[in-house]
Structure 1
Amino acid sequence: MQIADALRLAIQHLNAGRDAEASELCARILEVQPSNPVANALTARAARRAGDPGRARSHVDTALAAAPDYLPARTLDAQLAEDDASVAAAECAYRRLLTLEPASWSAWYDYGNLRQARAEDPAGSLAPYRRALALAPAEDKPAMNLATAALKLADSSAALAACEGVLARQPSHVRANALAATCLYDMGRTAEADRLVGWGSLTRTYELPLPAGYPDLAAFNRALAAAVRGHPGRRDDWDPTKRAIRGGALVTDVLKHDDPAIRAFSAALAVVLDRYVKDLPDPAGDPEHPHLRAIPSGYALDAWGNILGDGGHQSGHIHNLGWLSGVYYVEMPPAVQDDDPERAGWIEFNRPGYGIPDTGRATVRTLRPEAGVLALFPSYVWHRTVPFAGGGERISIAFDLHPR
């Protein structure tokens, strides 16, 4: 690929939120042309979005040294300076506030968030979070952010203690269970973490029952794929800070569309969800399990569609508002194959997201998506998808089951 073509593709990746792919292309360019101002500016842009201002600053400086009047680099230079100034100003403001209101747990919590997120200083966030918890022991937000910061600092014991404080009050708390599972894996307590995930019993797959009026699932999926692609709730512009999807299109409220295939899917999904609940292990056999002890007597459903193309994927995440989450696979690209050692387009479980380091100690499970199959799992189970290339689209419908 020519450098100009590679740069155009990198810009497309970056504009679509595929920062990793853009950075990889730029890295190849910089191996050949280390001072290339465009590649350096694009890399800086991706680094700034990833919360790495030091790396962003290095590439901006290189770009400006090579092309002092290159406008994108000049813009980034100003943005990075503003970022630094804004954090410093916010720091001063919080210190003044905490002097005036030292008993405000929310002020200490917000100050901890400033240190952890904007200043990228998880170590500096620990004391504010602990002060917030001392003032408001029943608040789960500072405990959860304390646990996240501790995991970033490889202090799994402190993170688990923060999670256990929340779980003592709210045994089915989604984020606390997700972070606790990561802590347990990191501490070598694999059997306890695997119990939470429940691979094969709580985390399992089903084939969708064939809806009436369709000769087979392949025909039904073709109709459903067309309905998802043409859905009035389709959005090709979405906020990557609020969604795990990277690249592609999002379809909001996918079930709220008067289309025969979508109506048929909704009815078939209800059958599978009822079957899942009946197939669960007897809660009496493990009465303290957070998923089993919270089996709902009634539920509401929130569903959305994901349309991914080359390089598109879902970053590691959990579903904070659900009891059970899942995904139905409507259409898969040619790259999704059984014998692929890279598992392109597959779904992966148990590797943490949200900036939490992967220590490599988790029991990572993978599943090859297959059109016509549903994967169901407790909402606190970490999951992500592996990017794919080679054309085609990966169309799925994801959903959360919320207890009424």
Structure 2
Amino acid sequence: MQIADALRLAIQHLNAGRTAEAAAVCARILEVQPANPVANALAARAARRSGDPARARRHVDAALAAAPDYPPARDLDAQLAADHEPVDVAERAYRRLLTLDPSSWSGWYDYGNLRQVRADDPASSVAPYRRALAVAPAEDRPAMNLATAALKLADTTAALAVCQGVLARQPSHIRANALAVTGLYDLGRAEEADRLVGWGSLIRTYELPLPAGYPDIAAFNRALAAAVRAHPNRRDDWDPTKRAIRGGALVTDVLKHDDPAIQGFARALAVVLDRYVKDLPAPATDPEHPHLRAIPAGYALDAWGNILGEGGHQSGHIHNLGWLSGVYYVEMPPAVQDDDPERAGWIEFNRPGYGIPDTGRATLRTLKPETGVLALFPSYVWHRTVPFTGGGERISIAFDLHPR
């Protein structure tokens, strides 16, 4: 195989997610041409994707030694610096990249993220995001991060305008709707925001039908709690930058287990989800509503378990990949009480997360979690759990429903 053909094959493997195959092709090329900048850059991409930053760095350095102005290598150099180096080092890397290739929208976007997230300076992220959008006006990611930065800077009118631009193209865009809700509340347009949130019509609670083989829901929940605690996918360590859970343990792919209680829950959950869709207002009653206009004809389900101990909670977040999200309450600690003015362990809606300031203008809603009950809500609705003290565990199963 010629080198050019091998490089094309490596690119095809990377684009298809076949990281190991791409790395193997690059390794064969580099046996023949160790300094090949394209092969080194592709090998660095594969190494970074497989979680080997040291190997990625070696390949990037080799690519830059052979071709200092090769943009893909400069891009990877900046990404690796953003992941592992001090902010000032990463910033210099991005400046080199963007001087070399000012038409790289992804470079401007990543540079904006560096300034907003790692440098905690949303004001200095605005210009890079705007440059990214000038190059690629239809890209959602810089638009959404620009809107987030604007909300952090109290430039609510600008944030809402950016969201409306995205929603004009994608009316059911989850993050654009979430940020728009926050913007509407902040601008005193609570009636519009409340319509999007849909408390009581789109946010609903249901009792789980009792799965077969259990005398009552309490017995079922005891079996389900034991299954969640002992689940083979339980993880007591997780990346807090990728999960809203704070403290406690996480169970990924919780339904992918043959335990009878978990399979009984999956069957009962399907019944409730079908009921929710049937109970929704007819789309014709509000044809422009982003949740109603996106009701899926068929859906797939992602689910995970959350085990929270004292002080554990979920920070404010949304579910970017869902249409409908929800949570089933399996076990509650003693601190969850009806008359608690602090609402310890309760779920709260509409307070923004992701570092967006709470202006106090949103219509906050709280719901006391009760074992045997599901809470369902549009995936763009902000929600969090209030921390609790006093011992015990708060066990729940959360899930996203998204179009198949």
State if a TM-score over 0.5 links the two structures.
yes
Give the match for residue 186 of structure 1. 186
- Name the SS for the 2:220 alignment partner: helix
Give the match for residue 400 of structure 1. 400
Corresponding letter in the other structure for 1:201: S
Give the match for residue 97 of structure 1. 97
**d(CA) in 2 for partners of 1:398, 1:90:** 36
In structure 1, stretches of 5+ residues that fail to align are 1-81
* 1:286 equivalent in alignment to 2:286: yes
Give the match for residue 323 of structure 1. 323
Deviating 4+ runs (over 4 angstroms): 82-85
Give the match for residue 216 of structure 1. 216
Residues 83 and 178 (structure 1), Cα distance of their counterparts in 2 relative to 1, 3 Å cut: closer
Once the two structures are TM-superposed, the CA of residue 83 in structure 1 deviates from its matched residue by 11
Q: For residues 6-52 of structure 1, what are the alpha-carbon distances to aligned partners after superposition, in whole Å with 9 as ceiling and x for unaligned?
A: xxxxxxxxxxxxxxxxxxxxxxxxxxxxxxxxxxxxxxxxxxxxxxx
| 1:89-238 matched pairs, under 5 angstroms | 89-238=89-238
Corresponding letter in the other structure for 1:138: A
**d(CA) in 2 for partners of 1:302, 1:275:** 18
Q: For residues 106-153 of structure 1, what are the alpha-carbon distances to aligned partners after superposition, in whole Å with 9 as ceiling and x for unaligned?
A: 111111111111222111111111111111110000100000000000
**d(CA) in 2 for partners of 1:218, 1:120:** 46
393-402 or 103-112, which deviates more = 103-112
Corresponding letter in the other structure for 2:178: A
Q: For residues 339-364 of structure 1, what are the alpha-carbon distances to aligned partners after superposition, in whole Å with 9 as ceiling and x for unaligned?
A: 00000000000000010100010000
| 1:366-381 matched pairs, under 5 angstroms | 366-381=366-381
**d(CA) in 2 for partners of 1:343, 1:106:** 42
In structure 2, stretches of 5+ residues that fail to align are 1-81
**d(CA) in 2 for partners of 1:253, 1:149:** 33
**d(CA) in 2 for partners of 1:228, 1:106:** 40
Once the two structures are TM-superposed, the CA of residue 391 in structure 1 deviates from its matched residue by 1.1
* 1:295 equivalent in alignment to 2:295: yes
How many residue pairs end up in the alignment?
Answer: 323
**d(CA) in 2 for partners of 1:249, 1:108:** 36
* 1:268 equivalent in alignment to 2:272: no
Give the match for residue 337 of structure 1. 337
**d(CA) in 1 for partners of 2:242, 2:249:** 14
**d(CA) in 2 for partners of 1:335, 1:85:** 43
- Name the SS for the 1:254 alignment partner: coil
**d(CA) in 2 for partners of 1:115, 1:212:** 54
- Name the SS for the 1:116 alignment partner: helix
Corresponding letter in the other structure for 1:183: G
238-247 or 372-381, which deviates more = 238-247
Give the match for residue 361 of structure 1. 361
Give the match for residue 348 of structure 2. 348
- Name the SS for the 1:341 alignment partner: coil
Give the match for residue 73 of structure 1. none
Give the match for residue 244 of structure 1. 244
- Name the SS for the 1:253 alignment partner: coil
**d(CA) in 1 for partners of 2:227, 2:84:** 46
- Name the SS for the 2:86 alignment partner: helix
Once the two structures are TM-superposed, the CA of residue 86 in structure 1 deviates from its matched residue by 2.0
| 1:56-71 matched pairs, under 5 angstroms | none
Give me the TM-score of the superposition, normalised by structure 1.
0.78
Corresponding letter in the other structure for 2:370: E
Once the two structures are TM-superposed, the CA of residue 214 in structure 1 deviates from its matched residue by 1.1
- Name the SS for the 1:184 alignment partner: helix
**d(CA) in 2 for partners of 1:272, 1:307:** 23
**d(CA) in 2 for partners of 1:116, 1:142:** 12
**d(CA) in 1 for partners of 2:289, 2:261:** 37
**d(CA) in 2 for partners of 1:249, 1:129:** 35
**d(CA) in 1 for partners of 2:189, 2:308:** 36
Give the match for residue 390 of structure 1. 390
Identity of aligned residues (%): 87
Residues 159 and 209 (structure 1), Cα distance of their counterparts in 2 relative to 1, 3 Å cut: same
**d(CA) in 2 for partners of 1:177, 1:372:** 30
**d(CA) in 1 for partners of 2:92, 2:247:** 37
217-226 or 114-123, which deviates more = 114-123
Corresponding letter in the other structure for 1:379: S
Corresponding letter in the other structure for 1:161: A
- Name the SS for the 1:128 alignment partner: helix
**d(CA) in 1 for partners of 2:231, 2:86:** 41
Once the two structures are TM-superposed, the CA of residue 261 in structure 1 deviates from its matched residue by 0.7
Corresponding letter in the other structure for 2:324: L
Corresponding letter in the other structure for 1:172: S
Q: For residues 208-233 of structure 1, what are the alpha-carbon distances to aligned partners after superposition, in whole Å with 9 as ceiling and x for unaligned?
A: 01111111111111111111111111
Corresponding letter in the other structure for 1:349: F
**d(CA) in 2 for partners of 1:212, 1:348:** 32
- Name the SS for the 1:387 alignment partner: coil
Corresponding letter in the other structure for 1:274: D
- Name the SS for the 1:133 alignment partner: helix
**d(CA) in 2 for partners of 1:126, 1:95:** 16
Once the two structures are TM-superposed, the CA of residue 85 in structure 1 deviates from its matched residue by 7.4
- Name the SS for the 1:300 alignment partner: strand
**d(CA) in 2 for partners of 1:332, 1:85:** 42
